[in-house]
Amino acid sequence: MQSTTFHFLASIMSSSSRHAGMGNLSQEEAIEGLKKLLIHNDKDEQLSKELETKIEKLISELLGTTPHDCHPVRRILGGFQSFKTNKFDVYPELFSELAEHQTPKFLVFACCDSRVSPSNILDFQPGEAFMFRNIANLVPPFNQLRYSGVGAAIEYAVVKLNVENILVIGHSRCGGIDRLMELPEDGSTENDFIDDWVQIGLPAKAKVKAEFGNLPLDEQKRECEKEAVNLSLTNLQTYPYVRERMARKALALRGGYYDFVEGCFKLWEVKSIISTPIRS
């Protein structure tokens, strides 16, 4: 077993020399980690699941592969083990406090897109942000008859948790915004839920068409990704508890845009409250 593993390690080292980037570990650190695991393996005869996961992670970093290459069960359990080892067990006081209550400063609306996790791109730590993710990061206007999931998240975060900031994050190459911009003018749909949901963004689409209708469709979509954030910021102000806290400067609204093509993030703040409530 050991000789086979060392042979495999040699092939990994040879292959890794063709890859410039290796994540957070240097090649030397990754190989040293593998050696330590192999010594442990020599004593215990058989790798535990935890060691298998760690070896896969090290090899992935050497080869420049991603966690998606792992078996799903090992990926889930290995991910939790990494969290527990590197965070939960390292900061016991923090997690003991969080077990009793949460006091997040942010309510964050973001897209479901797997490439735009707010915890990753903004480095939010446990307890910092109350998050709600949906298709195209849309916030509908206040309506007690529809979209109760969004309304409940806003009410809970603002009224119960007393968040001080609401951030709506849009992003590049958003599939939800693509669909919004491609909706047929005759109102026909081809999805069970998607088309109905993205229609929340129709005012943003109309504004983009009016101001940028001469641009190619792809460029209009990029403009709409930002304008949909502004629409959501406006819609947030139709919630009475949001308006009330904004009026006494206890709550700030901000929009953000993450461009994962260029690797940049833009941030802007709502400076004025809408003059009259908007109801759908």
DSSP, collapsed to helix, strand or coil, labels residue 274 as coil
Has 174 been labeled as part of a binding site? yes
Has 171 been labeled as part of a binding site? yes
Structure tokens at 62: 């050497």
Has 70 been labeled as part of a binding site? no
| Degrees to nearest 5, angle at CA 53 with 8 and 73 | 125
C-alpha to C-alpha distance for 208 and 223, rounded to whole angstroms: 7
| Degrees to nearest 5, angle at CA 89 with 91 and 33 | 115
Q: What is the bridge-based pairing of β-strands 252-259 and 264-269?
A: antiparallel
H or E, element range at 72: helix 72-83
Q: What is the DSSP string of 142-176?
A: P-TTS-HHHHHHHHIIIIIS--SEEEEEEETT-HH
What size, in residues, is the chain? 280
Query: How many CA atoms are closer than 13 Å to the CA of 65, on its beta-carbon side?
Result: 14
Could you tell me which of 176, 177, 170, 157 has the C-alpha nearest to residue 239? 157
Q: What is the bridge-based pairing of β-strands 165-171 and 106-111?
A: parallel
C-alpha to C-alpha distance for 259 and 266, rounded to whole angstroms: 8
Binding site as annotated, residues for Zn(2+): 111, 113, 171, 174
Residues tagged in the binding site annotation: 111, 113, 171, 174
